[in-house]
Structure 1
Amino acid sequence: MTGERGRDHGGGVPIRPAATVILLRDGDSGVEVFLQHRVASMDFAGGMTVFPGGGVDQRDSESSVAWQGPEPVEWGAELDCDASLARALVCAAVRETFEESGVLLAGHADGTVVTDTGPYAAARQALVTRELSLAAFLAETGLVLRADLLRPWSHWLTPEGESRRYDTRFFLAALPEGQLADGATSEAAGSGWQRPADALDDARDGRTMMLPPTWSNLADLVDVPSVADALAARRRVERVTPRLVRDDEGIRLVIDGQEWS
């Protein structure tokens, strides 16, 4: 299995598990994704266009998290890891999405999904500052994490040679009805919805910058006709491990034998 927490695959830099969520909605001209432009001064991916997400917190693996949907053991089979890490990854995906975009993939006891996140604004900030864990937040509000709203999409490992390395699972999720995605996070200088093709055009023309995982995930969504089609897609998720090559020409990134530029 892959994805053990805190492991080191060489190079002396610990690899941290992480989760990222590609939020989708159906726009007037096709599928749109929610993107954030990270503050340039950020230590990791500063100035880059990204999806909401981040590293797994130790408390994301708490077994007391109120849960609805495929069980962690099922997620483990999908994500190629044990059930404990699968639980942590799904919890991190939900927590980070709420912290960074205000979108809450959770529901009520009657089975309905949250439509108004306004009552949870204070809890959102407490999650950001780590004063509150996801498990405690759900318990205090009577909410349940909706694992069934997520779909596995891709898996990327930061290459050796970087000062920070993440083993990141990317998930898809539809924007829940009634909810709004915002950019109210200190990590983003701006945010908004775009068609994947338009976001890629911005990057090609130098208006924005993207890391390879963001580019690749957007490219895979360009021809998807609707959010329903994206969520229904059955993908074989295999880990992609880019490789940094240093030679007389400088530093190049190679992915699956192809040079990336």
Structure 2
Amino acid sequence: MVNGLKLPEQFVERIEGMRAGRIEPVAPRDAATVVVLRDHPEHGLQVFMLRRVSSMAFAPGAYVFPGGSVDPRDGDTDIAWAGPSPAEWGAAFRAGDKLARELVCAAVRETFEESLILLAGPAGTAVVDDTRGDTWEADRQALLARTVSLAEMLNRRGLVLRSDLLRPWAHWITPAIEPKRYDTRFFVAAIPPGQRAGDVSTEADRVTWVRPEDAVRRAQAGEWFLMPPTLATLSELAGYRTVADVLAARREIVTYEPTAEIIDGEPYLVLPPETARHYPRG
């Protein structure tokens, strides 16, 4: 029995090419993903998810959390900042101060770009309560076009990035066999009071709030496509009752990087033992 997922047959040639040194793995891009949480009065703990459009080059049709790769301007040092410092985030994620700053800024920026949820406020003890309206949409479009940085947007509005609203959760690296790779740190955060998640991302054709256990069940029934890091994260979150419980959890961040192997002549993505239990065995 194999702890992992069977890959399409075309991966055999790529795996063999990498073994022989004919194919070099692509360097992964640093990225951040945010699991946005809420407490629903009837359904309990829920997470916000997007379904990627089928035309996407990476993970088409997958249900994912908001997130994306780091932009060079995410490292702007003139951003107003409240909460744990880049050094503290670096310690949590085993990253240098510069990368840690970029990851937190990317987490906040990408979440706003893909959902309108903004983890920032007019002070270190306050948060924006509504991001709907034409001026906010103009700012979101400017961020998407990279004509302004997150720091520039927040500074112009007199806002402070609230890094204390985030918590570190996980670290996954896309397998070397993939042509597009990401070195992704996972964060968790509660949706701020008064804010509403919007269906605004052009990279998604559906958004939804869902209980973690329901998302896992749908994936295991073949109804939803979830990538291994997403399924593992949802399976872990299914063990918590409330947002407060999740935010209070103590996490030691372990780096996971699945590997591709040929087993009995067939290609497999071999998952870390701690996460493989979430999938049917091959």
TM-score of the pair, normalised by structure 2? 0.86
Alignment-derived partner of residue 219 in structure 1: 235
Question: Please, which of 81, 92, 104 is the counterpart of residue 67 of structure 1?
Answer: 81
1:247 Cα deviation after fit: 4.0
1:256 Cα deviation after fit: 2.2
Look at both structures and tell me which one has the larger radius of gyration over its CA atoms.
2
Q: Which amino acid aligns with 2:220?
A: R
Question: Please, which of 3, 10, 13 is the counterpart of residue 26 of structure 2?
Answer: 13
Q: Which moved more, 1:11-20 or 1:165-174?
A: 11-20
Within 1, Cα distance between the matches of 2:67 and 2:123?
A: 26
CA contact (8 A) 2:25 2:177 kept: no
TM-score of the pair, normalised by structure 1? 0.93
Within 2, Cα distance between the matches of 1:81 and 1:223?
A: 28
Within 2, Cα distance between the matches of 1:12 and 1:208?
A: 29
Within 2, Cα distance between the matches of 1:228 and 1:96?
A: 23
Q: Does 1:185 align with 2:201?
A: yes
CA contact (8 A) 2:121 2:159 kept: yes
Aligned to 1:84, what secondary structure does the other structure show? helix
Within 1, Cα distance between the matches of 2:116 and 2:261?
A: 39
Question: Please, which of 250, 253, 257 is the counterpart of residue 241 of structure 1?
Answer: 257
Alignment-derived partner of residue 250 in structure 1: 266
Within 1, Cα distance between the matches of 2:44 and 2:124?
A: 32
Q: Does 1:24 align with 2:40?
A: no
Q: Which amino acid aligns with 1:41?
A: S
CA contact (8 A) 1:11 1:161 kept: no
- Size of the aligned set, in residue pairs, is 252
CA contact (8 A) 2:115 2:199 kept: yes
Within 1, Cα distance between the matches of 2:24 and 2:69?
A: 20
Q: Which amino acid aligns with 2:181?
A: R
Within 2, Cα distance between the matches of 1:85 and 1:241?
A: 19
Aligned to 1:220, what secondary structure does the other structure show? helix
CA contact (8 A) 1:54 1:96 kept: yes
1:111 Cα deviation after fit: 2.9
Within 1, Cα distance between the matches of 2:190 and 2:67?
A: 15
CA RMSD of superposed structures (Å): 1.5
Written as runs of structure 1 = structure 2, the 5 A alignment for 1:43-82 is 43-82=57-96
Q: Does 1:35 align with 2:49?
A: yes
Q: Percent identity?
A: 50
Alignment-derived partner of residue 3 in structure 1: none
* Cα separation, partners in 2 of 1:207 and 1:110, compared to 1, 3 Å: closer
Within 2, Cα distance between the matches of 1:110 and 1:22?
A: 22
* Cα separation, partners in 2 of 1:246 and 1:140, compared to 1, 3 Å: same
CA contact (8 A) 2:199 2:206 kept: yes
1:15 Cα deviation after fit: 1.2
CA contact (8 A) 1:182 1:192 kept: no
* Cα separation, partners in 2 of 1:217 and 1:110, compared to 1, 3 Å: closer
1:139 Cα deviation after fit: 1.2
